[in-house]
Chains A and B, each alone.
Chain A
Amino acid sequence: MFDPYKVRQDFPILKRKINNHPLIYFDNAATSQKPKQVIEVIKNFYENHNANVHRAVHTLSQEASELYEKAHEEVANFINANGVEEVVFVRGTTEAINLVAYAWGLRNLKKGDEVIVSLMEHHSNIVPWEILSKINGFNVKYAEVNGDGTLNYEAFEDMISSKTKIVCISHVSNFSGVINDVKRVAKVAHEHGALTLIDGAQSVPHLPINVKDLDVDFLAFSGHKMLGPTGIGALYGKREILEEMEPFQGGGEMIREVSFNTITRRCSITWNDLPWKFEAGTPNVCGGVGLMEAVRYLRKLGMENVKAHECMLTEYAMQRMQGCQKVKIYGPKDVSIKCGIIPFNVEGLSSHDVALFLDNYGIMIRSGFHCAQPLHEIFKLRSSARVSFYIYNTREEVDRFIEVLKEIEQV
């Protein structure tokens, strides 16, 4: 049975006091805390197995290579990919999206083509496409959102056409926590001959993910939001698409051969197999090993349990926040269509004031645009405060948060 109190014992940082108050960490959409199992595996890697991966014949390199390859396998299993060939390790979601933009988009998008992103996207799923559109001359179109922050599917279906080459959309909004029906989006995209790139930064850590069932073409996510270290993440891509793509960056590891023709004085290069073709240079081996341990930890808990726990906390927190007179919550009220993210404001106060006030009591939340400025502009919000939950948060923490929120209302 899922027990958040038992889970908490694995997170050393939660024993900390901030400003003489017990730490309450409600900024999980930005990054998650790390369990001792992940911390220990990182320490153990550097103490016992550290070496560069692949090609070297010595024992340490063999051990590091096996661990790094195993990490790809664990991540592939976690999202039900067909195998390690479909999982490229990257720095995080942002790099994964940029990889698709440059390795696929640069060669496949041209003037007259269209890329659809939604208005609820994180800047990392907007900016790469806007930059590339200036180079290749294609159009970036923005799918509308409804008043409650959900995707307007009808408008999206009206917008898509044979000109659309790729649809780039978040699985879960980092502002409102809304879960988009990406299976539906992928079906519609495929009917029009377009690919789908899903930003899974806020979904993979919190929901059971089955890429085969979703039938998405690319899925990008970050390790640090799912108990793993920073600087590691993954791009899932359907094997046949990744095989057709040219590399993103050039260097060691991603090549099989760089052969020099002494007559033409040119090099002839052949790419390495998947996924290494997309992992130029010495990879973040230890990050991969840490991510593997994080995935194992989440699998042991069970992603259905993770989802249910966050859903329970979100429902409880929203219900209690609605009892606060000056608090306005944004996004859908129906927790069955959202993850554990609640954006809100307190009447008469800036979101930064609210965050600083809560910090005073050891409660860590986010304030500002959360890298989703277009959505704030659509909703005419100057900024917002955001609480976001994870496996180690409890109802008691929500109660304490509400107590302080009521104090803030008196300011």
Chain B
Amino acid sequence: MKKFDERFLRQLENLRLAVRKSVRGRKEGERSTSRRGGTSDFVAHREYSPGDDPRSIDWSLYARLGDLFVREFSREESLLLHLVVDSSSSMYIGKGGKHDLALQLAAGLGAVAWAETARVFFRDRFFETLGALLPVLEQAGAKRESPGEALQSVTRGSKESGMVVFLSDLWEDSLRKPLLEASSHGDIVLLHILSPEEVSPSLSGRHRLIDSENGEVVDRQVGPEELEMYQRGLETHCDEWKRWSSDHDIRYLRCISNDDWAEILTRMLREAGLYR
């Protein structure tokens, strides 16, 4: 079944229009960065490449050296958004479809970002339109990948600051280091997605449990006592992530994979002040 069916696309469009209305009248692209081009301050020279604007060629340098160099400038630039989705094995466990939800939220965030004239990247690849992004999201996760590596691709690829939204079930504490490294590239929003079975497991009796990431096996007798211990453990685990995020200026949100993606996104946007 396609992740982005007609119903999804209709909801997305409605949301995009709603956000656009909310931000109408706000000044566009208020950030000044070191991105090249435009009409602002001169930064440096670089070698001419075919396709460069001939008006930017430094002709006095050409007279001296016999080679073509262009002048580079800084210009004002709009927000940069990186969407990173955890595609590790644990994201495919549970009936709720954590990975599908993550992709739907990524598409939604992309749509909202374009409404704000931001530049949108899925991991380290730039997309100009939603139409270009959706097919890629549809195929995302065809190959399982470590979420740490997905975050590092953003750190490696990007030289500019912006916002990084990371959607994951956060079962690995080792994600903290790449998240901190990514935070040097701008604000981080952490969306913690759990499946209904992870939030309230309905197990009873003796079970052999297998870890989806590393294949480790444990046997457990599960009864009311064990379920209560599990719930307490889950709350502690989520609270630790929330506290860590707060300590490092990272925005943390939690949701369940059988929630409606549009409602989750609306909640996020309301908290960000982009939607009333």
Report if A and B associate in a common complex. no
Chain B residues near A (Cβ < 8 Å): none
